[in-house]
Copies of this chain bind each other. A is one copy, B any other.
Amino acid sequence: MKTAITPTRAENYPEWYQQVVKAADLAETSDVRGCMVIKPWGYAIWENIQRELDRQFKATGHENAYFPLFIPMSFLEKEAEHVEGFAKECAVVTHHRLEPDPSGGLRPAPSAELEEPLIVRPTSETIIGATFARWVQSYRDLPVLVNQWANVVRWEMRTRMFLRTTEFLWQEGHTVHATAQEAQQETLQMLDVYADFAKHHMAMPVIRGEKTAGERFPGAVATYSIEALMQDCKALQAGTSHFLGQNFAKAQEIKFQNEAGELVYAWTTSWGVSTRLVGGLIMTHADDDGLVLPPRLAPAHVVILPIYRNDDERSVVLPYCNAVKAELEAQAFAGEPVRVRLDDRDLRGGEKKWQWVKRGVPIRVDVGPRDVDGGGVFVSRRDVGGKGKPCPRDEFVATVSQTLDEIQQGLFARAQAHRQKATVKIDHFEEFKEFFDNQSPGGLAACHFVDVPEIEEKLKPLKVTARCIPLKGDAEFDNDDGGGTCIFTGQPSQRRGLFAKAY
């Protein structure tokens, strides 16, 4: 069977991914190494992600603010682990002026070298921490609950669009609390916000868990993540929430006078998701014909394609399409008007249809003269494929919201079934090795283990990493089996961790 995307997932997954990004008009590589251009269709998905997350951040009491793009080099030196983690591959600003080069062209002006180099933020704990140190004086100033939407830069050697780029867009929440307990609650609350968003908006099942020591955010006391499993059975870390303890408070001098009048260090958290989510969306739902969008994040829910051969037919079909569009827009899905596009561009019908298939619009409606005569429309759903079917216009309009909901639920159920099927409890290292053998697709291995550095030696040759230790009571993964034996060291273990190859 011919597919719109070549190669197929089965033939070459990484290349299929790149082709979907291209065919769906989501993004393209730019003239700057490792940086992408996010095209309008891709950016519209990101805007939908932003709008919903922003709503949830505000509903949980956070306010947006904006902090400098640049971080003085000395700030990175303050938190020892943080230096190790982030001071390595980053963009370093050393000059503030260009001047004509004697050999023609331009050069950084030697006379305009900065006294202290500036780093383009790879993350903002240090510069925001320094600000919080000014904001926080008394327990009355707490909690500070702030988020910023921003671009960040990490100089990546191997990049892949949306998944790992030198510059990417994200949000970073930063909060300050009077007690460790409050900060821990905040950390887990935001992890839940991410998990709910992934489930209900991205239709992407995720497991909430704590990262092992080796995978922790540099400088954090505990890092939590939501982990998803892509169609190729590799895991994707889709969002992280960090309990920073007093580490950054001490490095940045965030102190306050408590109710007893003592000057004490505050407790901080940070949490973020990025344009990487768009990559997760693609790898969770897209198929060999291109992108498949969950309705809640689709820039268009319905695309209407008028079909006519001459002006006479056009004069009948177009007004009909416009009327259907208006009727659909009067319907609500997920609390907002249904988003409809009418594509009347002068393109061959087949080409036009496939553009929208590849872009992943949930519902496609073809309307020709015979549909107009019969008072119907021809409806195709992106999630189920196949030929589509005729439907009376009134019925289609009246049920569109319900259909979108079905699609949203169906995509989640399908992804969840895949993830469940690919999650295996493994109790022996030999079995583990076989599971992750290069010939096998692998998946999520749930194994008893102890979090000691030695297990790295056994994981590395397999290119497998510890993804997380699922939280007790996580609805997506039951971790409560009474304990067992670490498959790597033979030591007694309290709970299983999840292991996988990962992006």
Contact = CB atoms under 8 A, between A and B. Distances in A.
B88 A97 contact: yes
Interface in A58-108: 63-77, 83, 87-98, 105-108
Given A30-B68, A127-B32, A155 B37 contact: no
A235 to B, nearest CB: 27
A37 B67 contact: yes
Given A28-B134, A87-B98, A117-B108, A65 B92 contact: no
A349 interface: no
A454 interface: no
Interface in A293-337: none
B66 A43 contact: yes
Nearest to A169: B66
A44 B64 CA distance: 7
A39 interface: yes
Contacts of A150: 151
B96 A90 contact: yes
Contacts of A107: 117
A120 to B, nearest CB: 7
B153 A69 contact: yes
Contacts of A90: 96-98
Given A43-B64, A65-B39, A67-B30, A106 B91 contact: no
A31 B77 contact: no
Contacts of A44: 63-64
A395 B261 CA distance: 46
A256 B284 CA distance: 38
A35 B70 CA distance: 8
B105 A74 contact: yes
A71 B88 CA distance: 22
A146 interface: yes
Interface string A106-136: 1110000000011110000001001100100
Given A44-B64, A92-B98, A108-B117, A167 B32 contact: no
A466 to B, nearest CB: 27
A21 interface: no
Contacts of A119: 98
Interface residues of A, number: 63
B37 A131 contact: yes
A38 interface: yes
Nearest to A118: B32
A70 B92 CA distance: 12
Contacts of A64: 40, 43-44, 47
Nearest to A91: B93
Contacts of A130: 31
Contacts of A72: 31-32
Contacts of A89: 96-97
Interface string A126-162: 0100110010000010000010001101010000000
A68 B35 contact: yes
26 contacts: A31-B127, A31-B130, A31-B131, A32-B68, A32-B70, A32-B71, A37-B68, A43-B63, A44-B63, A46-B66, A66-B169, A68-B167, A69-B153, A76-B98, A77-B105, A87-B106, A88-B97, A91-B93, A91-B95, A91-B96, A91-B118, A92-B93, A94-B108, A96-B155, A107-B117, A120-B120
Given A39-B65, A68-B167, 19 more contacts: A30-B131, A31-B72, A31-B131, A32-B68, A35-B68, A37-B65, A37-B131, A38-B66, A40-B65, A43-B63, A43-B66, A46-B66, A47-B64, A73-B106, A89-B97, A91-B96, A93-B94, A94-B108, A108-B117
